[in-house]
Amino acid sequence: MRTIKLLFFVAIFLTTISASGQSAAQKNQLALDQVSISSDWIDPYFPRLDTPDELLNYATNIEAYAKDHPAFPVLRIADPTKEQLEKYEQMVDEWMQQFGQYFPVFVEYSKFDKRLSANDDYSIYFAAREEWYKQNPDKAKILEEEIGLWISTNQDKYNSIMTSK
């Protein structure tokens, strides 16, 4: 099972590295999040890779997850009106109430919604991640401590991730 998970994370890491238009820092942060954050922080409905069956059905399972867990709202208006900003903030609050109890996961929504691009997937993830940290300061502190522990016990993996371009 460990090999299956490792292969999956390598595939995710390679996908992360190959996405165009994203900074190396964003790619590296996503890769670090994917390997260092315990599944205890992640939505239990997010598809797992604990069995060969789950690996084989991952594409179907992640598509179902994406349909049941809409993307975090991202404000795409350069100079929003007060009303637009209020509506956006309401959408963020509703998303956080429904899905914000868990750390956000990276979902390639662009595979299921042709109006989105790989760049949008990153924007969605990092906007959700930033909002989660903002709205969950106590959890965020504990999570950062856990990530720090992971880094200290996996220095070679950490260095490899953070030096990728």
**What pLDDT, on a 0 to 100 scale, did the predictor assign at position 72?**
97
**What pLDDT, on a 0 to 100 scale, did the predictor assign at position 48?**
87
The phi, psi pair for 103, rounded to 5°, reads: -65, 135
Instruction: Identify the bridge partners of residue 42 per DSSP, sorted by sequence position.
Output: 103
**What pLDDT, on a 0 to 100 scale, did the predictor assign at position 76?**
87
**What pLDDT, on a 0 to 100 scale, did the predictor assign at position 84?**
94
**What pLDDT, on a 0 to 100 scale, did the predictor assign at position 7?**
37
**What pLDDT, on a 0 to 100 scale, did the predictor assign at position 105?**
95
- The CB density around residue 132, as the number of other CB atoms within 10 Å, is 21
Q: What is the number of residues in the chain?
A: 165
**What pLDDT, on a 0 to 100 scale, did the predictor assign at position 165?**
65
pLDDT truncated to tens, each residue of the chain (165 aa)?
Answer: 444 443 344 344 434 444 455 788 888 899 899 888 999 999 999 998 888 888 899 999 999 999 999 999 999 888 999 999 999 999 999 999 999 999 999 999 999 999 999 999 999 999 999 999 999 999 999 999 999 999 999 999 999 988 876
The phi, psi pair for 40, rounded to 5°, reads: -65, -25
The identity of residue 72, as a single letter, is: F
At 41, list the tokens: 């922080």
Angle at 19 between CA 132 and CA 58, to 5 degrees: 70
pTM comes to 0.81
